[in-house]
Amino acid sequence: MTIHREGFNSIAIGTLIFGAINMSVYYFFSASMMWLCNIIFVLTLALLLFLISFFRIPNRKLTINENAIIAPADGKVVVIEETTDEEYFKTKRLQVSIFMSPANVHVNRNPISGDVVYNQYHKGKYLVAWHPKSSTENERHSVVIRKNDKEILVKQIAGALAKRIVNYLQVGQKVSQAGEMGFIKFGSRVDLLLPVGTKVNVKLNQAVQGGVTVIADL
């Protein structure tokens, strides 16, 4: 396991706060209330470890399959339905949505290899990520990757807690399947908009792993 670069500053600040709190508590209370010092140490250590785990990159064997669409994020499948895309395609698409809890790995990965033909950031609201309108009204970042004659739209969506979306891609860039496309801090949602009729290989409420689970056939 390694730590993602997006977490370096947050972890450094968290470590400083952890040290400052515990040094202060031990200085003022160690002589009279050692039990309080121990409780605060355990609680703050647990919070620090949770912060570190949030930015973890587990060691995984990533799936590389040119005939498959791979999960762009860890989480749970919360939507599989046809929808009308008003942003890019202007037609009906098959939407597969993955909800990311704060406990999930938050690296986002390219579902396919290909060329980036669209990349757009949208300001918006911060509705809870499972809200039906979060896909179109929340802060979000949309990317379209084209491979041969097929295009896949990946939408990083901010939630009530996740208010920082990071996207590394640019229009004209060639990307590799399962490579990093971005990062969302503190839980959110990622939508895939696929061609109608695409064979989906996951079910509602199924847990998926980013870069590993095959979402659908390409």
CATH assignment of the domain containing 188: 2.70.70
Domain end call among 57, 77, 101: 57
**Helix intervals (H) in the chain:** 8-29, 34-54, 134-137
Domain end call among 15, 38, 57: 57
Range of the domain at 37: 2-57
The pTM score is: 0.85
Q: pLDDT grade, residue 136 (50/70/90)?
A: confident
Domain end call among 30, 57, 84: 57
Active-site position among 134, 135, 142, 188: 188
> What number is the average pLDDT over the span 193-201?
96
* pLDDT score at 89: 95
- 112 and 24 together in one domain: no
Q: pLDDT grade, residue 185 (50/70/90)?
A: confident
Quick check: 133 pLDDT over 70? no
- 146 and 49 together in one domain: no
* pLDDT score at 160: 64
Picking from 93, 208, 175, the residue whose alpha carbon sits closest to that of residue 167 is 175
- 88 and 39 together in one domain: no
> What number is the average pLDDT over the span 17-33?
90
* pLDDT score at 207: 96
* pLDDT score at 58: 87
Q: pLDDT grade, residue 184 (50/70/90)?
A: confident
- 49 and 103 together in one domain: no
Mean of the per-residue pLDDT values of the chain: 90
- 46 and 97 together in one domain: no
Identify whether 109 is part of a domain.
yes
Is there a catalytic annotation at residue 134?
A: no
Do 81 and 203 touch, CB atoms closer than 8 A?
no
Quick check: 161 pLDDT over 80? no
Quick check: 85 pLDDT over 80? yes
In degrees and rounded to multiples of 5, residue 29 shows phi and psi of: -125, -5
Identify whether 37 is part of a domain.
yes
Identify whether 63 is part of a domain.
no
- 46 and 149 together in one domain: no
Q: Cα-Cα-Cα-Cα dihedral of 75, 118, 162, 190, to 10°?
A: -20
The number of domains in the chain is 2
Identify whether 204 is part of a domain.
yes
Most confident of 46-55, 81-90, 120-129: 81-90
- 73 and 51 together in one domain: no
